[in-house]
Amino acid sequence: MDDLPAAEALRKAAAATRRLARRCTRESWALDLLTALSCLALMALDVPGLAADDNSLNGLMATLVLTAGAATLMLRRVAPWVPFLVALVLLGWLHELTLAQFALYSLARYRGRAAGAAGVVAYVAFAYVMFTLPGWPVRRGDTLGEFFSLVVPIGALAAGVGVAANRQDLVRALQAQRAETQALQAVQQERARIARDVHDFVGRELTLLSVRSQVLARRAGDTPWADGFDELSETARSAHRMLNEIIVRRGVEGTPTPGLAALPELAEASARAGSPVDLHVDDAAYRLSPLRQAAVHRVVRECLTNAAKHAPGERVEVRVRVAAGRLLVRVGNPLPTGGSGPLPTAPVSAGTGTAGMAERVLAVGGTFSAGARGGAYVVEADLPSGELA
């Protein structure tokens, strides 16, 4: 029994350590500090030899000098030439090669292939000059062949790894930029669909208003109300013309987005694809405006598509209800477990569809959220219900 509190404390400590490690890996300064400490730890192994053979420094002074040199690695992202030049100083003074490896890697990673190649050439040339001068320690290479076999691989390998890391950084940056561009395109496309729906739904109502006003004007005959009905009809036609001129982003052709009546069809299609759907829609929701119904249809359709793609075979629960003047939409499905393994931490929907759903909901004054919760992926939208028909 006494072991249980200790085991629980160890588990909490391990979890806290993992959280701290994940947090540190996201901070560039923490990685730079870890790099500097690693370099210092490796150089500390040479302190006894430095104090004994290479110079007149004692152990404490050699440690301080190496610490100052390793500290320059904190500048490796913004000024990688600084640790590189310091590494050359330590190479010529203390015959220390370790910092040069870290400096060449940093130079190649954060300044590219050309800078890495130039750094390797400068490093080898400087080291060769130091080798030709008196005082080069025998254990660092007695003959020229031994010297080059020691110095050249260190510089070339460090710079090569740095160039590879630089390429990976560029690839990740391009991927992030592409994802951002796709998200922006999805938002623009959704705005075009919203504009099309506004034009079709509102334009239809304006047309009906104009026609009914004309009918009322004829029924009014010679009464004083006839001119008012004619003016109302002309106002409706003018508003329709203005709507046609303002909505210029109708690049997405086709019929308006369906409403709630089309949700059962979506549920049937999802079930045929292997993802059964539990659909619950309040009767009051069918009295919503066409724009709000279109927003709900857009959210549900994208959620079912994502569920079929990322969580095939899992049951999807769709709830649409109206309460206290709000339209509440909730779509959830269990996250795939991958057999007996742990639940994935990545969201089920990580593409541009989420941006499109959010834009559709925000366009009608609502709020939108999506993410993993307790082993399920949940999408929620909260919109003002407006006036019910």
Residue 20: half-sphere exposure toward Cβ, Cα within 13 Å: 6
Determine if residue 386 is left, alpha or beta; phi over 0 gives left, psi from -120 to 50 gives alpha, anything else beta: left
pLDDT at 106: 92
Reading the chain (389 residues) residue by residue, the pLDDT tens digits are 455 566 677 777 776 666 666 665 567 888 888 888 988 888 888 777 665 555 666 668 888 888 999 999 999 999 999 999 999 998 888 888 889 999 999 999 999 889 999 999 999 898 888 878 776 665 555 677 777 777 888 888 898 898 898 888 888 877 777 777 677 667 667 666 766 676 666 666 667 777 777 777 777 777 777 777 777 777 777 776 666 555 544 444 556 667 888 899 989 988 887 889 999 999 989 888 877 888 888 899 888 888 887 788 889 999 999 988 899 999 999 887 654 344 444 333 445 678 778 877 887 788 999 888 888 899 999 988 877 76
Q: In what order do the strands lie in the sheet with 367-373?
A: 277-281, 316-323, 326-334, 376-384, 367-373
In a domain, 254, yes or no: no
Using alpha carbons only, give the angle 362, 193, 360 rounded to the nearest 5 degrees: 15
- pTM for the whole thing? 0.51
Residue 217's contacts (CB-CB under 8 Å, 6 or more residues apart) are 226, 229, 230, 233
Number of domains comprising the chain: 3
Cα(140)–Cα(157) distance, integer angstroms = 18
Cα(141)–Cα(146) distance, integer angstroms = 5
In a domain, 186, yes or no: no
Residue 206's contacts (CB-CB under 8 Å, 6 or more residues apart) are 236, 237, 239, 240, 243
Take residue 313 and report the two structure tokens written for it. Answer: 């075979």
Amino acid at 113: R
In a domain, 255, yes or no: no
pLDDT at 213: 73
> Do 116 and 220 belong together in one domain?
no
User: What CATH number does residue 379 fall under?
Assistant: 3.30.565.10
The residue to which tokens 């508003």 are assigned: 239
198 contacts 244 by C-beta, under 8 angstroms: no
Pick from 33, 102, 90, 34: nearest CA to 65 = 90
Pick from 371, 369, 389, 364: nearest CA to 380 = 369
Take residue 43 and report the two structure tokens written for it. Answer: 């150089």
> Do 152 and 213 belong together in one domain?
no
Give the range of the structural domain holding residue 197, as residue numbers without chain letter.
Answer: 193-246
In a domain, 252, yes or no: no
pLDDT at 345: 40
In a domain, 185, yes or no: no
In a domain, 280, yes or no: yes
In a domain, 187, yes or no: no
pLDDT at 249: 43
pLDDT at 337: 66
> Which of 131, 147, 178 is where one domain is finished?
178
In a domain, 349, yes or no: yes
pLDDT at 340: 39
Cα(43)–Cα(40) distance, integer angstroms = 5
> Do 25 and 156 belong together in one domain?
yes
> Which of 122, 150, 178 is where one domain is finished?
178
> Do 140 and 11 belong together in one domain?
yes
10 Å Cβ neighbour count for 194? 23
> Do 231 and 278 belong together in one domain?
no
pLDDT at 252: 45
Pick from 132, 152, 250: nearest CA to 194 = 250
> Do 95 and 239 belong together in one domain?
no
Pick from 118, 104, 98: nearest CA to 47 = 98
> Do 90 and 23 belong together in one domain?
yes
> Do 111 and 163 belong together in one domain?
yes
162 contacts 107 by C-beta, under 8 angstroms: yes
